[in-house]
Amino acid sequence: MQVVVPYATRDPKSRLAGVLDADERRAFARAMRADVVDAVRDAGGEPTLLTTAPPRDAGGGAERTDGVPVVVDDRPLTDAVNDALPDEPGEAVAVVMADLALATAAPLSRLFETAGDVAIAPGRGGGTNALVVRHPDFRVDYHGASYRDHRRIAADAGLSVGVVDSMRLATDVDEPDDIAEVFLHGEGRAREWLADAGFEVVLREGRVGVARSD
Amino acid sequence: MQVVVPYATRDPKSRLAGVLDADERRAFARAMRADVVDAVRDAGGEPTLLTTAPPRDAGGGAERTDGVPVVVDDRPLTDAVNDALPDEPGEAVAVVMADLALATAAPLSRLFETAGDVAIAPGRGGGTNALVVRHPDFRVDYHGASYRDHRRIAADAGLSVGVVDSMRLATDVDEPDDIAEVFLHGEGRAREWLADAGFEVVLREGRVGVARSD
């Protein structure tokens, strides 16, 4: 399975600005991206990074991407992803967001195996965190509540839709509360990065949150 | 599978007080409970309501529970649930919270079929939204971050743990944002109740929320 992993290089994870500065957000976003790429490979997928600008390391040079091909496309997410989707019947392309820090091989394999012209893993809050497109008539629209829009787009084109019920794929890391989920269920570099950065789990009103000790 | 559905009758869903008054919260909680009971039955389970006081209808009389047996236990949740768990090897009891408004037969069947002395469906924020207990040495502790605690309790007793990765079971409806998930993915009475009460989906900062029109 060809798997596109979109990754915006400009001001990643801006809604975490209250708990992480700009350099930290970039480093944390890279750690999550590396976890997603590992999970895609573990599930038998062939990842390609789709970025808005060439990845740079801290010194401004070309960033190592651990052998993952990079496609640079500075257009909005929707246009860039649509360019990567199948043009011919019989092709299949998956799109997996780079901030799914809980993604592992098991739920991604479930996604890849879910039947349908389109298979969707909805995100919390109505997003589309991951999907598989197997029909050239489907195109994405990430603006707004994309889960409902994608179901409508598929229905309007007469295409079948499968839905994957996964907490791991539903959890995109956008807000401070999401960081707690990485602590609870993460198994990779993103969790390690948070621990190294001094975060720890705290209890708030019966739910788990995070606090920073340094 | 015997399935205990705990349901607190006193001031249910207090964190929804900003969007629903006390009578509405009670009605909404009942709608969610009915959906959970339906889903348990559809998955082949035999539900029992575990309540803190006899369910009453709006007039103060005994509330209809649609043929579901009711056990009244006014002790804290942890004590009441532990009393319902297996005493003998070979027994199995599931516990499914009454506010899992997205629960359907499919994820509950996955839970019931997940191997392990204990099988857990974690909730968002570190809770334990549903579990199956197949060993008399396991006891619950719902105080605090119960997912981690339950894993530790099992490990300390040398018991195996299975985990179910389900967005539907991970979504307990506690806060206004959770209501949006019911709108997006709900298929039963809770969603219908919200629509009748005048709620509708709105977009806020790229995620879906709810607003009330009446």
pLDDT in tens, A193-205: 999 999 887 777 6
A206 pLDDT tier (thresholds 50, 70, 90): low
The answer as to whether A178 is a domain residue is no
Query: Residue B207's pLDDT band (boundaries 50, 70, 90)?
Result: low
Query: Which residue of B lies nearest to A126 if distances are taken between CA atoms?
Result: B208
| pLDDT per residue as tens digits for the range A119-158 | 999 999 999 999 999 999 999 999 888 999 999 999 999 9
Q: Is the pLDDT of residue A182 over 80?
A: yes
pLDDT of residue B92: 97
Q: Which residues of B touch A (CB under 8 A)?
A: 15, 106-107, 122, 124-127, 144-145, 147-148, 165-170, 174, 177, 180-181, 184-185, 201, 203, 205-208
Residue A127 lies inside a defined structural domain of this protein: yes
CATH number at residue B52: 3.90.550.10
Taking 70 as the threshold, does the pLDDT of residue B206 lie above it?
no
Per-residue confidence (pLDDT) for residue A195, from 0 to 100: 92
Task: Indicate if the pLDDT at residue A110 is higher than 60.
Answer: yes
* A181 part of a folded domain: no
The pLDDT, as a whole number, for residue A68 is 93
Residue A162 and residue A114 in contact, taking contact as beta carbons nearer than 8 Å: yes
Domain count within chain A: 1
In a domain, A145, yes or no: yes
Instruction: Look at residue A207 in the predicted model and tell me its pLDDT.
Output: 65
Identify the pLDDT of residue A58.
Answer: 67
- Per cent of chain B over pLDDT 90 is 77
Name the band, by pLDDT with cuts 50, 70 and 90, for residue B93.
very high
Q: Mark yes or no for CB contact A145/B106 under 8 Å.
A: no
pLDDT at site B152: 97
Continuous segment of H or E residues that includes residue B26:
helix B22-42
Q: Any residues with CB less than 8 A from the CB of B4 and at least 6 apart, and which? A: B47, B48, B50, B81, B84, B93, B94, B95, B96
pLDDT digits (tens, 9 = 90+) for B142-172: 988 899 999 999 999 999 999 999 999 999 9
CB contact (8 A) between residue B144 and residue A203: yes
Is the pLDDT at A173 greater than 90, yes or no? Answer: yes
* DSSP secondary structure of B35-49: HHHHHHHHTT-EEEE
User: Which domain covers residue A142, as residue numbers?
Assistant: 2-171
Are residues B44 and B132 in contact, defined by beta-carbon separation less than 8 angstroms?
Answer: no
Does residue A203 lie within any of the structural domains? no
Average pLDDT, chain A: 92
| pLDDT value at residue A89 | 87
What pLDDT sits at residue A188?
A: 95
pLDDT given for residue B205 in this prediction? 64
If pLDDT is split at 50, 70 and 90, which confidence band does A64 have?
confident
Residue of chain B with shortest Cα separation from A170: B167
Does residue B21 lie in a domain region? Answer: yes
Confirm whether B192 is domain-assigned: no
Whole-number pLDDT of residue A54: 85
- Mean pLDDT calculated for residue range B127-144: 96
Query: Residue B208: its chain A contacts at CB < 8 A?
Result: 125-126, 145
CB–CB of B126 and A165 under 8 A? no
Range B57-86 average pLDDT: 88
pLDDT tens-digit readout, B3-38:
999 998 888 899 999 889 999 999 999 999 999 999
Q: What is the 3-state secondary structure (H, E, C) of chain A?
A: CEEEEEECCCCCCHHHCCCCCHHHHHHHHHHHHHHHHHHHHHCCCEEEEEECCCCECCCCCECCCCCCCEEECCCCHHHHHHHHCCCCCCCCEEEECCCCCCCCHHHHHHHHHCCCCEEEEECCCCCEEEEEECCCCCCCCCCCCHHHHHHHHHHHCCCCEEECCCHHHHCCCCCHHHHHHHHHHCCCHHHHHHHHCCEEEEEECCEEEEEECC
Residue A101 falls within a domain, yes or no? yes
Predicted confidence at residue A213, as pLDDT, reads 72
Please, are residues B164 and A200 in contact by the beta-carbon 8 Å criterion? no
- As beta bridge partners, residue A130 has A96, A121
Greater confidence (B203 vs A4) lies with A4
Strand partners, B161: B118
